Structure 1
Amino acid sequence: MKLSTKGRYGLRAMIDLALYSEKEPASIASIAARQHISESYLEQLIAKLRKAGLVTSVRGACGGYVPGRPVEEISVGDVLRALEGNLDPVECPGIQNSSGCDGSDVCVTKYVWQRINDSINRTVDEIKLSELLEESRAVQKKSQIPGSCCEKKE
């Protein structure tokens, strides 16, 4: 399974949003600047996250975005699925017992694919945004440099 920039940048944006919107809504421009993501690309990601209910917009002069639910209730899986779609690395028609696979009755590899799919989904669903927020605070406190682990050092 390989995540696209949508998933990677979107997760970074969600962590940033959770971290910097505690006192006031975070603007796309501020998130984009801190995370080194183009504003136009970030707008596309935020639109998908908003549609999934993970982000809420706040109108007005000090408007911006805030998490759509408590960060303890938002999983990494929620974010990645909103941006990437299904996270199963193997699509096997035999897993769903559909008629799309003639050898489903005798195929044992479908159990391997199902376990891989389940493992990935379980892992991303167990990691909550609140955990990443605390980790981000700890890293920032330690380094005294706000920002992302994925930024290029100059």
Structure 2
Amino acid sequence: MRLTSKGRYAVRAILDLTFNSNGRPVRLQEISERQKISLHYLEQLFRRLRKGSVVKSVRGPGGGYVLARSMDEIAVKDVLVSVGENINPARDLIGNVDLKSDTVEFILTKTYFENLGVLMQDYLTTTSVGDLIRKARGTQDLPKAAGNVLEATGFIPASMQNVEKGRNLS
């Protein structure tokens, strides 16, 4: 799965908004300064995030943006879909495989990446903004799906091989 800058910036902006809101609306100018993202670009992203019911705007003095739902009700997938990201990772992962489509190698490769895609979709759907905020604050382990993705793909670095499934992988 390949995230564009748009998707990465949207997730960063939502995490910044959530982390720094302290119960008040956050101005895009503040996010722009902290995240070093152009204000104009943030305005475009937040229009899409508002249409996707991820954020809502508050007008007037002290106005800005707040989450439209609780941080635990907003999945990372919601943020990405709102800004138009393709979250069908299997298509991106398989790409243009240079194998004939009826070969065992192609079928195994395709199946492998389709399974990886399902796990990634699950991770994006089950990981909330709240999960990421708690992780950043050091108050929660990664969601169990993170360990499942690593285990299922076989890409578990040596430094993580003794880590219990579903536990903090950082």
d(CA) in 2 for partners of 1:68, 1:53: 6
Name the stretch that deviates more: 57-66 or 114-123: 114-123
Structural mapping, 1:17-32, within 5 Å: 17-32=17-32
Could you tell me how far 1:112 is from its partner in structure 2? 3.8
| Residues paired across the two proteins, number | 127
In structure 2, how many angstroms separate the alpha carbons of the residues matched to 1:122 and 1:54? 19
Higher relative contact order (CA 8 A, sep 6+): 1
Which residue matches 2:115?
115
Which residue of 2 is the match for residue 83 of structure 1? 83
**Cα shift at 1:131:** 1.5
* Structure 1 residue runs of 4 or more that deviate by more than 3 Å after TM superposition: 107-114
Q: Which runs of 5+ in 1 are unaligned?
A: 93-102, 140-154
Which amino acid is 2:4 matched to?
S
Residue 108 of structure 1, CA deviation = 4.6
Deviations 1:61-105 (A, max 9, x none): 11000001110011111111222433112349xxxxxxxxxx89x
**What is the rounded CA distance, in whole Å, between the counterparts of 1:20 and 1:74 in structure 2?**
17
Q: Which moved more, 1:117-126 or 1:25-34?
A: 117-126
Aligned to 1:55: 55
Asked if 2 retains the 8 angstrom alpha-carbon contact of 1:4 and 1:84, the reply is: no
Question: Do the aligned residues in 2 keep the contact of 1:3 with 1:84 (CA within 8 Å)?
Answer: no
Q: Within 2, Cα distance between the matches of 1:121 and 1:82? A: 15
In the superposition, the TM-score normalised over structure 1's length comes to 0.73
* 1:70 aligns to 2:70 (yes or no): yes
Q: Partner letter of residue 21 of structure 2?
A: S
Q: Which residue in the other structure is 1:152 paired with?
A: none
Mapped to 2, the partners of 1:35 and 1:137 lie a distance apart of 18
Deviation at 1:47, TM superposition (A): 0.9
Aligned residues: percent identity?
36
TM-score, length basis structure 2: 0.66
- Alignment RMSD (CA, Å): 2.3
Letter in 2 for 1:86: N
Distance 1:88 1:126 in 2: 15
8 Å CA contact retained: 1:28, 1:39: yes
Q: Residues 90-129 of structure 1 correspond to what in structure 2 (within 5 A)?
A: 90-91=90-91, 108=107, 111-129=111-129
